[in-house]
Amino acid sequence: MKKKSTKKSELAIIKHISNIFGFPADSPVIKGIGDDCAVLRKDDKSCFLVTTDTLVEGVHFDLGWHPPFLLGRKTGAVNISDIAAMGGHPRFALLSMAFPGSAPAWLDDFLAGFYAILQQYGTLLVGGDTVKSSNDLSISVTIIGEAAENSICYRSGAVKGDLVFVSGFLGDAAAGLALCQSGLSNQGLGQWQQLFKAHLDPEPHVQLGKMLAESGLVHAMIDISDGLATDLAHICAESGTGAEIFKKDLPVSEQLTAAAGKLEKPVLDWVLKGGEDYQLLFTVSPDHEEDLYNLVIEKNKPGIFCIGKIIEDPGVFLLDSLNREEVSFQGYDHFTAAKS
């Protein structure tokens, strides 16, 4: 008889931890585990947003192709993106590093990149830690942001009938990673510059996230870190809804299509499951679709794309003219060690 796997998914582990820890009724915690950031009351009108992420060598990055300066930028960017997803502004950062042996020769370049991304978004480094590890390099960052309490966007606000939007191309980062793994990054940026940039040096959408949150038009929002299929499923799970994705409306770059042909990879795998796009994924009532487009044009922000709608039945489904396929939680999961 085949032994049943005892592996717990990342989602199951987070849920288990959440069930153990709670908060007293008079706690300043407005939102704990289950969103892009914890939300802590600051005063009568504003809140702190707190997020943390860990990057591990060999899992999240490879110094064989990731320049230390850009790794420093990315380390800050992926955390700042969580603040953006809730409509906040990043204020303070803490950086902790564990590396084998003495400080690596590339540390100054890494710190220069980390400093650059913090400076770009007006964020101050206020503390952290350094320790020796027994094996691989590990980097942890905590970002503390701020937002007005009445403008914070959570994952839990989507309602049936909402339209689903994304802030840009999907799958570029996964395609960039695949190109690096194939060795093509050693041949220079060339025709793949956009894809390498998406993987090596992603840009958080802080101004767009703040604008969307303060507009009052957005019901739910998240940044795409684990892939469209998984992160839309997070919105649906928190909102008690489902979603349909329209295959024909998914924004796919020309470079991604070309890379998929070069590497003989299915385009949809990168678009739905790739992760690390750090685009904003959000829902808006169809009654305010025109208002949303007008706002984006007025503020001269990058283009947004409507890719689906929120439905009553649970699950995330990919639709084309012939099929309706469930794709919920098919993105990256650290503890099942696969991209579904």
DSSP assignment string, 300-335: TPPP-EEEEEEESSSEEEEE-SS-EEE-TT-SEETT
pLDDT greater than 60 at residue 3: no
The percentage of residues in the chain with a pLDDT greater than 90, rounded to a whole number, is 77
Confidence of residue 187 (pLDDT cuts 50, 70, 90): low
**Cα–Cα distance for residue pair 144/121, rounded to 1 Å:** 12
Higher pLDDT, 46 or 58: 46
CA atoms within 13 A on the CB side of 107: 15
Q: What is the pLDDT of residue 185?
A: 64
Enumerate the domain spans of the chain: 10-151, 155-339
CATH class label, 155-339: alpha beta
What is the second-level CATH architecture of the domain 10-151? 2-Layer Sandwich (3.30)
Higher pLDDT, 70 or 189: 70
Q: What is the pLDDT of residue 102?
A: 77
Cβ atoms of 320 and 247 within 8 Å: the answer is: yes
Confidence of residue 10 (pLDDT cuts 50, 70, 90): low
The percentage of residues in the chain with a pLDDT greater than 70, rounded to a whole number, is 90
Q: How far is CA 327 from CA 102, 246, 316, 339, in A?
A: 45, 12, 6, 12
Q: How many residues does the chain have?
A: 340
Q: What is the pLDDT of residue 188?
A: 56
DSSP assignment string, 33-44: TTSSSEEEE-SS
Model pLDDT for residues 218-228, shown as the tens digit of each residue = 999 999 999 99
pLDDT greater than 70 at residue 304: yes
Cβ atoms of 279 and 267 within 8 Å: the answer is: no
Higher pLDDT, 165 or 24: 165
**Cα–Cα distance for residue pair 149/217, rounded to 1 Å:** 15
pLDDT greater than 50 at residue 165: yes
Model pLDDT for residues 139-161, shown as the tens digit of each residue = 999 999 999 999 999 999 999 99
Q: Which of 30-39, 145-154, 178-187, 329-338 has the highest mean pLDDT?
A: 145-154
Confidence of residue 340 (pLDDT cuts 50, 70, 90): very low
pTM higher than 0.75: yes
Confidence of residue 335 (pLDDT cuts 50, 70, 90): very low
Higher pLDDT, 340 or 198: 198
pLDDT greater than 90 at residue 27: no
* Range 286-291 average pLDDT: 98
Confidence of residue 11 (pLDDT cuts 50, 70, 90): low
Beta bridge partners of 317: 244, 326
The 3-class SS string of 57-118 reads ECCCECCCCCCHHHHHHHHHHHHHHHHHHCCCEEEEEEEEEEECCCCCCCHHHHHHHHHHHH
Q: How far is CA 68 from CA 114, 135, 151, in A?
A: 10, 19, 36
Asked if the domains 10-151 and 155-339 are classified in one and the same CATH topology, the answer is no
Confidence of residue 22 (pLDDT cuts 50, 70, 90): confident
Averaged pLDDT of the chain? 91
